[in-house]
Amino acid sequence: MTKKHYKQNNHPVFTLKIITHTNHNISQKEINRNALKVLQRLLNAGFEVYLVGGSVRDLLLKKKPKDFDITTNATPEQVKHLFKNCRLIGRRFRLAHIIFGREIIEVATFRGHHKNLKKNISMQSKKGILLRDNVYGKIHEDVERRDFTINAMYYNIKDYSIHDYFGGISDLKNKVIRLIGNPKIRYREDPVRILRAIRFSVKLNFHIEKDTAQPIQELSYLLKEVPAARLYEESLKLLQSGYGLKTYHLMRQYNLFQQLFPITSSYFTKDYSSYTEKMLSLVLNSTDLRIEAGKRINPAFMFVAILWYPLNILADELAKKNKLAYYDAIIEAGNVILHEQAKTIAIPRRHTETIREIWQLQLCLPRRRGNQAFRLMELNKFRASFDFLEMRGVIEGKEIEELSKWWLIFQNAGSNIQESMISHF
């Protein structure tokens, strides 16, 4: 292992440790073959190129990486020139995507520092948030722009060594999530780093280092400055990756869930006793179990559950105030709730339509006379609506629990029993 010491003005001081291939456990056999093709072609073209970030971290932890990201001194245009199957994306961060069928290998150019830059290359908001960041530099500058030490390790395809700039391997060993640089400045540059600290902590079962954790609650309000579309993607990573329940509890501790779901969090209690909180725990635990079992999940279902009880409270208010039938009140309340939620998390339209349908079906499921029960079972969203009804039964008990049990029996019964069941209405 060799060491090089770097000292930069106004930037983090680091010591580069180069771990040779005989002193680490990463094998090329574990690296995605398309990623290897990209690495090798860039290397052969004379560029400096590394595998970087989460893939290096996960390989060192003996986990299977989800993505294999690459960084290089080649510009996006130079990368595109080398690969016919390349497209350039992004305004805030200019990236090259190398497309292999359904698989995408992402290639980023080394990021540089923000000094005497033109407006169309780099831009920050008054609060310090990076709005545009196409600033290219050298590898020692790029590493300083990485978020956490465990994501700042570079695998060199040239000699199979690992370049560790900020003690990432040591933090991996000690199970530590540590930001590179001044946490307050780094969080202000990109508030999503706050959510990433939480996500990595739960996902890897690591603890957040003291200085990294200290400003999180204080700066949680910065998440309101993040585009709602980006927070939608982040919400799925946080709550639908197999450890949603634990993530939710940690997010509440740091006042983060409250920023993403302000409507829902207005019904939070100290002892987690409200229907809203019970539903949150139930749906997130159920989602975790489905992912563990390899079952499919639908993002719409999570939002159905998270917003259901706030929806009902608002519908009650609208029904009384505007003298509406309850079904109409639910529809109007649904429009209001989804509009308000979209200010923080932009749920795609394909999902909001599903959410509305499942909500409305909750009012239809008690109607079982004649052929109504059979017609309901033929609907595309019946199964999801029934699953949600069962969750409501666990929380609300009484009539809703009895209704969910009725539908469970009805779905699995023979035609004679089904006819007998609906004849009582």
Q: Give 3-state DSSP helix, strand, coil % of the chain, rounded to 5.
A: 55, 15, 35
Question: Distance (Å, rounded) from C-alpha 95 to C-alpha 74?
Answer: 11
- The answer to the question of residue 257 being in a domain is no
- CA 292, chain centre distance (Å): 17
Question: Distance (Å, rounded) from C-alpha 249 to C-alpha 238?
Answer: 11
| Structure tokens belonging to residue 125 | 């908001």
**Owning domain of residue 124:** 10-174
Over its length of 425 residues, how does the chain's per-residue pLDDT go in tens digits? 556 555 555 566 778 999 999 999 999 999 999 999 999 999 999 999 999 999 999 999 999 999 999 999 999 999 999 999 999 998 767 899 999 999 999 999 998 765 544 443 444 555 544 444 457 888 988 998 899 999 999 999 999 999 999 999 999 999 999 999 999 999 999 999 999 999 999 999 999 999 999 999 999 999 999 999 999 999 999 999 999 999 999 999 999 999 999 999 999 999 999 999 999 999 999 999 999 999 999 999 999 999 999 999 999 999 999 999 999 999 999 999 999 999 999 999 999 999 999 999 999 999 998 899 999 999 999 999 999 999 999 999 999 999 999 999 999 999 999 999 998 77
Same-domain check for residues 159 and 280: no
Of 359, 245, 256, 348, whose CA–CA distance to 291 is shortest? Answer: 245
The DSSP line for 318-381 is: HHHHHT--HHHHHHHHHHHHHHHHTTTS---HHHHHHHHHHHHHHHHTT--STTHHHHHHTSTT
Same-domain check for residues 169 and 277: no
Same-domain check for residues 285 and 170: no
Same-domain check for residues 277 and 133: no
Position 62, amino acid: K
Helix (H/G/I), strand (E/B), else coil: 192: helix
Question: Distance (Å, rounded) from C-alpha 289 to C-alpha 285?
Answer: 6
Question: Distance (Å, rounded) from C-alpha 384 to C-alpha 310?
Answer: 20
Same-domain check for residues 310 and 166: no
Whether 146 and 137 have beta carbons less than 8 Å apart is answered as no
Same-domain check for residues 289 and 410: yes
Confidence (pLDDT) at 136: 83
In this structure, what CATH number is given to the domain that contains residue 32?
3.30.460.10
- The answer to the question of residue 114 being in a domain is yes
Confidence (pLDDT) at 2: 58
Burial class of residue 21 (count of CB atoms within 10 Å of its CB; 0-12, 13-18, 19+): middle
Position 274, amino acid: S
- The answer to the question of residue 232 being in a domain is no
- The answer to the question of residue 40 being in a domain is yes
Question: Distance (Å, rounded) from C-alpha 88 to C-alpha 263?
Answer: 38
End-to-end CA distance of the chain: 79
> How many CB atoms lie under 10 A from the CB of residue 26?
20
| Structure tokens belonging to residue 386 | 């029934």
- The answer to the question of residue 215 being in a domain is no
Confidence (pLDDT) at 130: 44
Confidence (pLDDT) at 15: 85
- The answer to the question of residue 199 being in a domain is no
In this structure, what CATH number is given to the domain that contains residue 299?
1.10.3090.10
Same-domain check for residues 152 and 279: no
Confidence (pLDDT) at 120: 39
Burial class of residue 212 (count of CB atoms within 10 Å of its CB; 0-12, 13-18, 19+): buried
Question: Distance (Å, rounded) from C-alpha 164 to C-alpha 279?
Answer: 44
Tell me whether strands 122-124 and 130-133 are parallel, antiparallel or unpaired.
Answer: antiparallel
Same-domain check for residues 130 and 278: no
Q: At what angle are helices 244-253 and 228-239 packed, to 10 degrees?
A: 120
Give the domain-ending residue among 174, 199, 220: 174
Confidence (pLDDT) at 5: 53
Same-domain check for residues 277 and 398: yes
Give the domain-ending residue among 123, 155, 174: 174
Confidence (pLDDT) at 6: 54
Give the domain-ending residue among 174, 202, 230: 174
Give Cα separations from 362 to 214, 276, 329 (angstroms): 43, 16, 13
pTM of the model: 0.87
Query: Residues 73, 75, 81, 86: what is their CA dihedral angle, to the nearest 10 degrees?
Result: 100
- The answer to the question of residue 266 being in a domain is no
Same-domain check for residues 164 and 297: no
Same-domain check for residues 166 and 292: no
Whether 305 and 279 have beta carbons less than 8 Å apart is answered as yes
- The answer to the question of residue 279 being in a domain is yes
Overall number of domains in the chain: 2
Residues that are catalytic: 67, 69, 147
Same-domain check for residues 146 and 294: no
